Amino acid sequence: MYLRLVITRRDQESSRTLGVFQPAYELLNGGTLPRAEHEHLADVIAWFERYLPRPSRSRIEPGTIFWFRSDSSRFLRKIWDLAAILTQNGFHVELRKTARPGYIRCEDAFQVAATPFRDSRFG
């Protein structure tokens, strides 16, 4: 099983729902958060940057979506911290689950990057 947190806003290029990292970075760089909340968000993002492997951009095709493996409990616990901050700032966050993330483009012990199947309901 694979899990992904998304917001209800869609990416303009792919028309797919956005994951939580893009709006989190936008919130972090937007300059509107109170100092303590900004520091908390910066800490959560820094944790992911430190511990979550980042595949080479050359292996990621346009439209690729990242999914956490359901047994990646350390990352799944932390992603809820990010979701809580987004929710407190007016974003609606939803959990998506699938056994069929799409065509796997790259993977590691914690996540997969996949191009969704044409019949995917996760768009």
pLDDT in tens, the chain (123 residues): 999 999 987 766 666 788 999 999 999 999 789 999 999 999 999 999 999 998 887 778 888 899 999 999 999 999 999 999 999 999 999 999 999 999 999 999 999 999 888 776 655
Query: Cβ(98)–Cβ(2) under 8 Å?
Result: yes
Can you give the pTM of this predicted structure?
0.86
